[in-house]
Structure 1
Amino acid sequence: MQQYQNSVANTATGLPLVAATVQVNTYPGGAPATIYSDNGITPIPGGTLTTDSNGRFSFYAADGHYQIVVSGSGITTQTINDVILVDILPADLPTALPSSAGKLWNDGGVISSS
Protein backbone atom coordinates (compact mmCIF):
# COMPACT_ATOMS: atom_id res chain seq x y z
CA MET A 1 0.00 0.00 0.00
CA GLN A 2 1.44 3.34 -1.06
CA GLN A 3 0.37 6.91 -0.36
CA TYR A 4 -0.05 9.37 -3.22
CA GLN A 5 -0.43 13.07 -2.50
CA ASN A 6 -0.59 16.07 -4.76
CA SER A 7 -2.27 19.43 -5.18
CA VAL A 8 -3.96 21.29 -8.00
CA ALA A 9 -3.97 25.00 -8.79
CA ASN A 10 -5.39 27.39 -11.34
CA THR A 11 -2.67 27.82 -13.96
CA ALA A 12 -3.63 31.45 -14.63
CA THR A 13 -3.76 32.67 -11.01
CA GLY A 14 -1.75 30.08 -9.12
CA LEU A 15 -4.57 29.82 -6.56
CA PRO A 16 -5.50 26.37 -5.27
CA LEU A 17 -8.49 24.62 -6.79
CA VAL A 18 -10.76 24.06 -3.81
CA ALA A 19 -13.33 21.22 -3.87
CA ALA A 20 -12.20 19.91 -7.27
CA THR A 21 -13.24 16.33 -7.96
CA VAL A 22 -10.39 13.83 -8.21
CA GLN A 23 -11.26 10.46 -9.75
CA VAL A 24 -8.68 7.69 -9.40
CA ASN A 25 -8.98 4.94 -12.01
CA THR A 26 -7.06 1.84 -12.96
CA TYR A 27 -4.68 2.27 -15.88
CA PRO A 28 -5.12 1.15 -18.51
CA GLY A 29 -8.80 0.45 -18.39
CA GLY A 30 -10.25 3.47 -16.64
CA ALA A 31 -12.40 1.61 -14.08
CA PRO A 32 -12.66 3.26 -10.64
CA ALA A 33 -9.69 2.15 -8.54
CA THR A 34 -9.84 0.81 -5.01
CA ILE A 35 -8.29 3.57 -2.90
CA TYR A 36 -8.21 4.29 0.82
CA SER A 37 -8.06 7.34 3.07
CA ASP A 38 -5.53 5.53 5.27
CA ASN A 39 -3.15 2.61 4.91
CA GLY A 40 -5.63 0.04 3.55
CA ILE A 41 -8.32 0.34 6.22
CA THR A 42 -10.96 2.89 5.15
CA PRO A 43 -12.04 2.68 1.49
CA ILE A 44 -12.93 5.81 -0.47
CA PRO A 45 -16.17 4.94 -2.32
CA GLY A 46 -15.97 4.92 -6.12
CA GLY A 47 -12.32 6.04 -6.12
CA THR A 48 -13.48 9.68 -5.93
CA LEU A 49 -12.30 12.39 -3.56
CA THR A 50 -12.20 16.19 -3.45
CA THR A 51 -9.41 18.69 -2.92
CA ASP A 52 -9.16 20.57 0.38
CA SER A 53 -8.94 24.33 1.00
CA ASN A 54 -5.33 24.28 -0.26
CA GLY A 55 -6.10 22.25 -3.40
CA ARG A 56 -4.49 19.16 -1.87
CA PHE A 57 -5.60 15.55 -2.04
CA SER A 58 -4.14 12.23 -1.02
CA PHE A 59 -5.02 8.57 -1.00
CA TYR A 60 -3.51 5.15 -0.43
CA ALA A 61 -3.57 2.37 -3.03
CA ALA A 62 -1.89 -0.90 -3.83
CA ASP A 63 1.21 -0.90 -6.03
CA GLY A 64 0.19 -0.45 -9.64
CA HIS A 65 -0.65 1.92 -12.48
CA TYR A 66 -3.38 4.55 -12.09
CA GLN A 67 -5.12 7.33 -13.97
CA ILE A 68 -6.03 10.54 -12.14
CA VAL A 69 -8.79 12.77 -13.54
CA VAL A 70 -9.31 16.24 -12.03
CA SER A 71 -12.56 18.04 -12.84
CA GLY A 72 -15.09 20.44 -11.41
CA SER A 73 -17.13 23.56 -11.96
CA GLY A 74 -15.20 26.05 -14.07
CA ILE A 75 -12.28 23.64 -14.46
CA THR A 76 -10.99 22.19 -17.72
CA THR A 77 -10.82 18.46 -16.99
CA GLN A 78 -7.25 17.20 -16.77
CA THR A 79 -6.21 13.55 -17.03
CA ILE A 80 -2.88 12.18 -15.82
CA ASN A 81 -2.21 8.72 -17.23
CA ASP A 82 0.07 6.00 -15.91
CA VAL A 83 0.75 7.27 -12.40
CA ILE A 84 2.88 4.50 -10.90
CA LEU A 85 2.78 3.57 -7.23
CA VAL A 86 5.52 1.16 -6.22
CA ASP A 87 6.95 -0.17 -2.99
CA ILE A 88 10.47 1.18 -2.65
CA LEU A 89 11.66 -1.44 -0.16
CA PRO A 90 14.56 -3.41 -1.58
CA ALA A 91 13.77 -7.07 -2.23
CA ASP A 92 16.81 -8.20 -0.26
CA LEU A 93 15.94 -6.31 2.96
CA PRO A 94 15.95 -8.99 5.70
CA THR A 95 12.67 -9.89 7.39
CA ALA A 96 14.29 -11.27 10.55
CA LEU A 97 15.03 -9.00 13.49
CA PRO A 98 18.53 -7.57 13.27
CA SER A 99 21.18 -8.80 15.64
CA SER A 100 21.82 -5.35 17.11
CA ALA A 101 19.89 -2.17 17.85
CA GLY A 102 19.64 0.66 15.32
CA LYS A 103 19.50 -1.48 12.19
CA LEU A 104 16.54 -1.44 9.80
CA TRP A 105 14.34 -4.45 9.27
CA ASN A 106 11.29 -5.21 7.17
CA ASP A 107 8.21 -6.32 9.08
CA GLY A 108 5.91 -7.34 6.23
CA GLY A 109 6.31 -4.10 4.29
CA VAL A 110 6.92 -1.77 7.24
CA ILE A 111 10.44 -0.59 7.89
CA SER A 112 11.19 -0.45 11.58
CA SER A 113 14.26 0.11 13.62
CA SER A 114 15.07 -2.11 16.58
Structure 2
Amino acid sequence: MQKFINSIAAGSGSPVAGASVQVNVYPGGTPATIYSDNGVTVTANPLTTDSNGAFSFYAADGHYQLVISGANIQTQTINDILLVDHLPSDLPTTLPASAGVIWNNGGTLSIS
Protein backbone atom coordinates (compact mmCIF):
# COMPACT_ATOMS: atom_id res chain seq x y z
CA MET A 1 0.00 0.00 0.00
CA GLN A 2 1.34 3.41 -0.93
CA LYS A 3 0.13 6.99 -0.40
CA PHE A 4 -0.11 9.31 -3.40
CA ILE A 5 -0.21 13.08 -2.78
CA ASN A 6 -0.45 15.81 -5.41
CA SER A 7 -2.21 19.05 -6.27
CA ILE A 8 -3.79 20.69 -9.29
CA ALA A 9 -2.84 24.25 -10.30
CA ALA A 10 -3.90 26.50 -13.15
CA GLY A 11 -1.37 27.83 -15.66
CA SER A 12 -1.11 30.96 -13.50
CA GLY A 13 -0.08 28.80 -10.54
CA SER A 14 -3.29 29.34 -8.58
CA PRO A 15 -4.81 26.18 -7.04
CA VAL A 16 -7.79 24.51 -8.70
CA ALA A 17 -10.31 23.75 -5.97
CA GLY A 18 -13.16 21.33 -6.64
CA ALA A 19 -11.53 19.47 -9.54
CA SER A 20 -12.49 15.82 -9.98
CA VAL A 21 -9.66 13.25 -9.88
CA GLN A 22 -10.69 9.78 -11.10
CA VAL A 23 -8.15 7.07 -10.17
CA ASN A 24 -8.16 4.15 -12.62
CA VAL A 25 -6.20 0.94 -12.99
CA TYR A 26 -3.67 1.24 -15.82
CA PRO A 27 -3.93 -0.08 -18.44
CA GLY A 28 -7.61 -0.76 -18.69
CA GLY A 29 -9.14 2.37 -17.26
CA THR A 30 -11.42 0.65 -14.74
CA PRO A 31 -11.94 2.56 -11.48
CA ALA A 32 -9.41 1.59 -8.83
CA THR A 33 -10.17 0.82 -5.20
CA ILE A 34 -8.60 3.64 -3.20
CA TYR A 35 -8.37 4.31 0.52
CA SER A 36 -8.27 7.30 2.85
CA ASP A 37 -5.77 5.50 5.08
CA ASN A 38 -3.27 2.67 4.79
CA GLY A 39 -5.61 0.09 3.26
CA VAL A 40 -8.44 0.05 5.80
CA THR A 41 -11.07 2.64 4.82
CA VAL A 42 -12.27 2.66 1.20
CA THR A 43 -12.85 6.22 -0.06
CA ALA A 44 -14.89 7.71 -2.88
CA ASN A 45 -13.46 7.55 -6.39
CA PRO A 46 -13.35 10.14 -7.98
CA LEU A 47 -11.77 12.43 -5.39
CA THR A 48 -12.32 16.19 -5.23
CA THR A 49 -9.44 18.64 -4.75
CA ASP A 50 -9.55 20.83 -1.64
CA SER A 51 -9.29 24.64 -1.49
CA ASN A 52 -5.52 24.36 -2.11
CA GLY A 53 -6.02 22.10 -5.14
CA ALA A 54 -4.61 19.16 -3.15
CA PHE A 55 -5.72 15.53 -3.13
CA SER A 56 -4.35 12.27 -1.77
CA PHE A 57 -5.21 8.60 -1.55
CA TYR A 58 -3.73 5.22 -0.69
CA ALA A 59 -3.75 2.34 -3.16
CA ALA A 60 -2.21 -1.08 -3.54
CA ASP A 61 1.13 -1.31 -5.34
CA GLY A 62 0.57 -1.13 -9.08
CA HIS A 63 0.06 1.07 -12.14
CA TYR A 64 -2.62 3.77 -12.17
CA GLN A 65 -4.15 6.43 -14.38
CA LEU A 66 -5.50 9.81 -13.22
CA VAL A 67 -8.27 11.57 -15.13
CA ILE A 68 -8.57 15.18 -13.97
CA SER A 69 -11.65 17.20 -14.94
CA GLY A 70 -13.85 20.01 -13.72
CA ALA A 71 -15.46 23.33 -14.45
CA ASN A 72 -13.34 25.69 -16.55
CA ILE A 73 -10.47 23.20 -17.00
CA GLN A 74 -9.56 20.94 -19.90
CA THR A 75 -9.76 17.24 -18.98
CA GLN A 76 -6.29 15.74 -18.59
CA THR A 77 -5.29 12.07 -18.40
CA ILE A 78 -2.03 11.03 -16.78
CA ASN A 79 -1.08 7.44 -17.59
CA ASP A 80 1.11 4.85 -15.91
CA ILE A 81 1.67 6.24 -12.43
CA LEU A 82 3.59 3.57 -10.52
CA LEU A 83 2.94 3.15 -6.81
CA VAL A 84 5.46 0.92 -5.04
CA ASP A 85 5.94 0.33 -1.35
CA HIS A 86 9.69 0.44 -0.86
CA LEU A 87 9.61 -1.09 2.61
CA PRO A 88 10.66 -4.74 2.90
CA SER A 89 7.64 -7.04 2.97
CA ASP A 90 8.99 -9.03 5.92
CA LEU A 91 8.91 -6.09 8.36
CA PRO A 92 6.27 -6.45 11.08
CA THR A 93 3.33 -4.06 10.65
CA THR A 94 2.39 -4.01 14.34
CA LEU A 95 4.41 -2.60 17.22
CA PRO A 96 6.92 -5.29 18.27
CA ALA A 97 6.85 -6.38 21.93
CA SER A 98 10.57 -5.80 22.43
CA ALA A 99 12.43 -2.48 22.25
CA GLY A 100 14.81 -1.57 19.44
CA VAL A 101 13.05 -3.53 16.67
CA ILE A 102 12.43 -1.84 13.29
CA TRP A 103 8.83 -2.07 12.06
CA ASN A 104 6.55 -0.72 9.30
CA ASN A 105 4.43 1.93 11.05
CA GLY A 106 1.86 2.64 8.30
CA GLY A 107 4.51 3.13 5.60
CA THR A 108 7.09 4.75 7.87
CA LEU A 109 10.07 2.94 9.38
CA SER A 110 9.88 3.16 13.17
CA ILE A 111 11.87 1.64 16.02
CA SER A 112 9.98 0.13 18.95
TM bucket by the smaller chain? Answer: 0.7 to 0.9
Structure 2 unaligned regions, length at least 5: none
Residues 80-114 of structure 1, C-alpha deviations (whole Å, 9 max, x = no match): 100011011135x665x6x8x54524589763312
The code of the aligned residue for 2:52 comes to N
Write out the 4+ residue segments of structure 1 that deviate beyond 2 Å after TM superposition: 101-112
**Largest Rg, 1 or 2:** 1
Q: What is the aligned partner in structure 2 of residue 87 from structure 1?
A: 85
The code of the aligned residue for 2:13 comes to G
In the alignment, the residues of structure 2 paired with residue 53 and residue 103 of structure 1 have an alpha-carbon distance, to the nearest angstrom, of 40
Normalising by structure 1, report the TM-score.
0.82
Percentage identity across aligned positions?
Answer: 63
Normalising by structure 2, report the TM-score.
0.83
Q: Quick one: which of 46, 51, 54 aligns to 1:53?
A: 51
Q: 1:107 to 1:22 in 2, by over 3 A?
A: closer
Q: What is the aligned partner in structure 2 of residue 71 from structure 1?
A: 69
RMSD: 2.4
Q: 1:108 to 1:70 in 2, by over 3 A?
A: closer
The code of the aligned residue for 1:34 comes to T
Q: What is the aligned partner in structure 1 of residue 34 from structure 2?
A: 35
Q: 1:109 to 1:21 in 2, by over 3 A?
A: closer
Q: What is the aligned partner in structure 2 of residue 10 from structure 1?
A: 10
Residues 9-53 of structure 1, C-alpha deviations (whole Å, 9 max, x = no match): 001x110001000000000000000001112222123x2110000
The code of the aligned residue for 1:68 comes to L
The code of the aligned residue for 1:80 comes to I
Structure 1 unaligned regions, length at least 5: none
